Amino acid sequence: MRLSARPIAALVAALALTAGLSITGTPAVARSDDRAAAAEASDVSIAADTYTWKNARIDGGGFVPGIVFNRSEKNLAYARTDIGGAYRWDQAGKRWTPLLDWVDWDRWGWSGVVSLASDTAEPDNVYAAVGTYTNSWDPTNGAVLRSSDRGASWKAATLPFKLGGNMPGRGMGERLAVDPNKNSVLYLGAPSGNGLWRSTDSGATWSEVTAFPNPGNYAQDPSDTSGYGNDNQGIVWVTFDERSGSAGSTTQDIYVGVADKENTVYRSTDGGSTWSRIAGQPTGYLAHKGVLDSSTGHLYLTLSDTGGPYDGAKGRIWRYDTESGAWTDVSPVAEADTYYGFGGISVDRQKPGTLMATAYSSWWPDTQIFRSTDSGATWTQAWDYSSYPNRSNRYTLDVSSVPWLSWGANPAPPETAPKLGWMTESLEIDPFDSDRMMYGTGATVYGTEDLTSWDSGGTFTITPMVKGLEETAVNDLASPPSGAPLLSALGDIGGFRHTDLDAVPAMMFTSPNLDSTTSLDFAEASPGTVVRVGNADAAPHIGFSTDNGANWFQGSEPSGVTGGGTVAAAADGSGFVWSPEGAGVHHTTGYGTSWTASTGIPAGATVESDRKNPKKFYGFSAGTFYVSTDGGATFTAKATGLPAEGNVRFKALPGTEGDIWLAGGAPTGAYGLWRSTDSGASFTRFSGVEQADSVGFGKAASGASYQTVFVSAKIGGVRGIFRSTDAGAGWTRINDDAHQWAWTGAAITGDPRVYGRVYVSTNGRGIQVGESSDTDGPGTDPGPGTDPGTDPGEPPADADCSVTYTVTNRWSGGFQAEVKLTNTGTAAYDGWKLGWTFPGDQRIGQIWNASHQQTGAKVTVTDAGWNGMVAPGSSAAFGFTGTTTGDGTAPGAFTLGGEACAVG
């Protein structure tokens, strides 16, 4: 699965917020000339209603770069994520417990966890190094959090530099380590050239180890001027040899990994006073991990030619004998046979000489896991080729608890669905149980409890061990009045239709599969009609459903679309308005068989629909509000003086024409909450709302004349999630300081059927569901709706491609063909999917240099990974054998990502 928590520059730019969180204060009434008139509001109640919070279950959904077992207490384990906080394993419930939900809006970057350390001497102690970006995207410095109650509460030591939980190299580690003999001593490897740091008071204060000679020099992309790809990845792991100390005394032998291909391992033999490069070490690689087997005295390094976590084209595994000083290459395969780097590594503390490692960057056909029981002299692997492309697996993979991990795919061998994973930078054998192993991927945590069956020639069972760990980044949410209670637009894994908030959905949205869904909407009066748009390597970027999101069909799109943008559905489902990236605002009737450019509205505007008048659509851009009364064909500029900076989101009230609420802005300009009751001709600002970022509506309270309004906002000096049952005259904070989830500004919506229920977006902690203890006006959920529909079919547009299809051999009942795809455009393909429909009964048998899916006569062929990048004017070729009862007539048409190619 091609998953990564990508940098969110535009998002973060809008989060450079001021002031710390306060729980006291009065509503602000300030007014400036560039803002519309202020409404006379509002009274504020801080946590006056008691809410219970939970996740809408997805289970996983993001990268887990680190798993840490405590080595002195059984079943005590932690996991870290790149943007979604840290977790502790609950053995009784076989689930993960979140530990950083208290991270607040102003310090949102602390939800990115660079490293974790569990104290062997005192297992109640746990430490987390936090911070999301080392560049300007994150406004706050990093910190080391310390807890003496296993993460139930924390204290923080803010550092004089930033840390990068979502930066390149985030799978390396662990950068943070506790001295196993003297647990008041900790070390932290810093990025950005900041060197090695040490604490001697259990993490309360930190100082640089000035004697350490090398702060690192490797950057993923030195030409990147954003501070992301060109950041020095620095000091990447610290490992103690506990044999060189005794309880209460400082460990003398300490090993440190550095992001420097020529000088990647250093050692101190005097408790950190002096340091030197270890002679004879491998060069030309970065050591992602350094793990010491104290029973054998062997230090193992997993190496890659890049910092990861998704790149890496070559790799090795080396063993260092700490007694003799001898280095040995113990790699399981020849260097020439690697197309990946090695990342995750663990030793079995119960069985000296037994170790495992991962090929973290092997996307196609699958990741690989290696195991040795003789200190790396020989290895076996999780799967082998029996007769290519068929595989012989030492494992069975059961994803029935998280079925979407198959991605709805049906690839040809040697690729499988579901896969063992990708971005497998973390793998840990339970130090108390040789049969239990866990490893993190770009989407989940997998594990087994019968691992030693590997050694006896049997098969072991791998299952998701991810319950409770929710790491999706949420872009949009919708709660229709009938059908499923919740539809979601998510980063990296598209989105889901939740018919049961406490159950993992069977599959994410497919047909099309979108890398990230950026916006979705349903027709208010016809909730079976749903539209979603998002980002993908190639077209299509839009999908439609006529059965409330249960099934989807791909839509065509205007020329030039490069990303999802925002989309809106007419109140009755008769048409749609789309503002995609790469193209201006467009409108259509029906299901987008053709699109027409809208006029009067700038490209990139945010679009929404009126929830009663099907001809009325709204738009917003750079402080100006736009209105269309002809189905999106033409827009007219209306209200001005609205926020010209930052992100702005707005929603129209269901069932009432022209009632619009708008939230957004930036601390350097207009920032707050506005309302219009005249279809955007004018807006009135709520004076008591100092800042607001998203707004939504839910079922009205009993006896109330207005639907419940929910906002993610700052009111009365307090940042939080607020509810109003009287059209904004008064507000109640409904979250608390233990439930803040860092940044919650992307989307919020109430449930139109259940009073008080609210769905809140997070950037890495999934979808939060709040339930009110106030039963004033409870609603009922009638269950999923039907509203069945059919796919009307849609003609594809033209793509920049040409296809040559050649039958190279025929025999009775079969044939062989070669296909060449040529890029005729001006931009490179970054991955490709070629489709066609066979005449007759032709079926593909074996394919090479690509993978394929075939349903009936329809075929989709996907690049093999290594040939996914096709420069302008260049070609990618693949071949296959097929069966047929006819003559193997060539297909007459081909599509690239759903758009038509020329036939050569």
The C-alpha atoms of residue 872 and residue 828 are separated, in whole angstroms, by 5
Nearest Cα neighbor of 186 from 154, 163, 166, 157 is 157
Name which of 194-198, 739-743, 808-812, 887-891 the model is least confident about: 808-812
Q: For residue 814, what pLDDT is reported? A: 82
CB atoms near residue 71 (< 10 Å): 17
Q: For 197-216, what is the mean pLDDT?
A: 98
Q: For 168-179, what is the mean pLDDT?
A: 98
pLDDT at position 727 over 60: yes
pLDDT at position 785 over 70: no
Q: What are phi and psi of 847, to 5 degrees?
A: -130, 150
Q: Which two tokens stand for residue 67?
A: 């798993």
Task: Give the count of alpha carbons within 13 A of 8, CB side only.
Answer: 27
Spell out the residues 6+ positions from residue 269 whose beta carbon is closer than 8 angstroms to its own. Answer: 244, 252, 253
Q: For residue 776, what pLDDT is reported? A: 63
Q: Which two tokens stand for residue 629?
A: 């009364």
Q: For 551-566, what is the mean pLDDT?
A: 96
Q: pLDDT (tens digit, 9 = 90+) per residue, 665-721?
A: 999 999 999 999 999 999 999 999 999 999 999 999 999 999 999 999 999 999 999
Nearest-5° angle of CA 601, CA 606, CA 609? 90
Under DSSP, is residue 542 helix (H, G, I), strand (E, B) or coil?
strand
Q: How many helices (H) and strands (E) does the chain have?
A: 1, 71
The C-alpha atoms of residue 180 and residue 733 are separated, in whole angstroms, by 44
pLDDT at position 542 over 70: yes
Under DSSP, is residue 453 helix (H, G, I), strand (E, B) or coil?
helix
Tell me which H or E stretch contains 528. Answer: strand 526-535
Within the chain, what is the greatest distance between any pair of CA atoms?
85
Q: Enter the pTM of the model.
A: 0.82
Q: For residue 260, what pLDDT is reported? A: 98
pLDDT at position 225 over 50: yes
Nearest Cα neighbor of 165 from 70, 76, 86, 255 is 86
Q: For 815-828, what is the mean pLDDT?
A: 89
The C-alpha atoms of residue 650 and residue 693 are separated, in whole angstroms, by 9
Q: For residue 14, what pLDDT is reported? A: 31
E-strand ranges in 244-401 read: 254-258, 265-268, 276-277, 286-293, 298-304, 315-321, 327-329, 342-347, 355-359, 368-372, 380-381, 383-385, 391-393, 395-397
First to last CA, the chain: 32
Name which of 15-19, 38-42, 371-375, 885-889 the model is least confident about: 15-19
Residues above pLDDT 90, as percent of the chain: 83
Q: For residue 376, what pLDDT is reported? A: 98
Alpha helices in 692-747 (DSSP H): none
82 is catalytic: yes
430 is catalytic: no
Nearest-5° angle of CA 402, CA 404, CA 408? 150
For residue 695, what are the β-bridge partners? 711
The C-alpha atoms of residue 670 and residue 662 are separated, in whole angstroms, by 12
Catalytic residue among 253, 293, 492, 659: 492
Q: Which DSSP letter does residue 10 get?
A: H
Q: For 437-442, what is the mean pLDDT?
A: 98
Would you say 271 and 200 are in contact if contact means Cβ atoms under 8 Å apart? no
Catalytic residue among 82, 138, 366, 521: 82
The C-alpha atoms of residue 809 and residue 813 are separated, in whole angstroms, by 12
- Write b or e for each residue in 627-639: b if 16 or more Cβ atoms lie within 10 A of its Cβ, otherwise e: bbeebbbebeebb
Q: For residue 35, what pLDDT is reported? A: 31
Banded pLDDT at 6 (limits 50, 70, 90): very low
